[in-house]
Amino acid sequence: MTVKLLLTESSKEIADICKSVEKALAEISGLNDLTFLVELMENFDRLSAEENSQPIKSAIAICQNVTEIICVNRNALSIFPVQAQEAAFVRAIACSLIHRDSLMDRLTRYAEFGYFDKGILADYLTCKWGFFEGLRAERVLSYGQHYVEVLDKWHDEEEYLSSMYLWLVRKGAGYA
């Protein structure tokens, strides 16, 4: 089954990565009829205060669910290899799918994570869709080796969720 995923880039600079992600996700069920404008920005300084938190400022890409725009941070993009760039695009698409399909209402195990719920599910979907290595390359820098060890458990969703819960407890206590 081929699904329609269309990424319309604002700059030729990101055209190759958009086409690569479209091709890689073409056979993933549930991604039908997704269309995004992919906007290349110098940095994320002009995002709203809610979207402009420190983790967001250093992200490669984010999805603005209300507008269905994937914002790409040129400054962060240039730091990472193509594999990590692709994973960031896929993760932004996963975030949009979570919003579009109200996945948090159906996947209550993730809702238990509170503020981190959508991010944990988006990371899981990114891995499940075949982008673990790319996400790993980005996450080791942004969240550290211990997070990547937890992320590596994505093959077993129950173990992933249990380990992620423990990681969040450690992070909250200042140990992660």
Q: How would you write the pLDDT of the chain (176 residues) with one tens digit per residue?
A: 334 567 776 788 888 998 999 899 988 877 777 788 888 888 888 775 555 444 566 788 888 766 678 888 988 888 899 999 999 999 999 988 888 888 878 887 887 777 778 889 999 999 999 999 999 999 998 889 999 999 999 999 999 999 999 998 888 888 76
Output the six-digit token pair for 72. Answer: 């790409």
Which residue do the tokens 């809610």 mark? 50
User: Between vectors from CA 153 to CA 149 and to CA 157, what angle results, nearest 5°?
Assistant: 145
What is the number of structural domains in the chain?
1
- What's the CA dihedral at 18, 126, 69, 138 to 10 degrees? -80
Torsion over CA: 66, 2, 59, 98 (sign): positive
What pLDDT is stored for residue 137 in this prediction? 94
- What's the CA dihedral at 167, 169, 175, 176 to 10 degrees? 30
**Tell me, what DSSP letter sits at residue 80?**
S
Domain residues for the domain of 22 are 5-172
Rounded Cα gap, residues 86 and 91, in angstroms: 9
Task: Give me the residues paired with residue 72 across strands.
Answer: 40, 61
Q: Are 71 and 41 in contact (CB under 8 A)?
A: yes
Q: Amino acid identity, residue 162?
A: S
Rounded Cα gap, residues 35 and 74, in angstroms: 21
Q: Are 9 and 38 in contact (CB under 8 A)?
A: yes
What pLDDT is stored for residue 57 in this prediction? 66
Q: Are 21 and 86 in contact (CB under 8 A)?
A: yes
Find, among 78, 57, 83, 70, the residue nearest to 142 by Cα: 57
**Tell me, what DSSP letter sits at residue 12?**
G
Chain Cα centroid distance, residue 128? 12
What pLDDT is stored for residue 29 in this prediction? 77
What pLDDT is stored for residue 5 in this prediction? 66
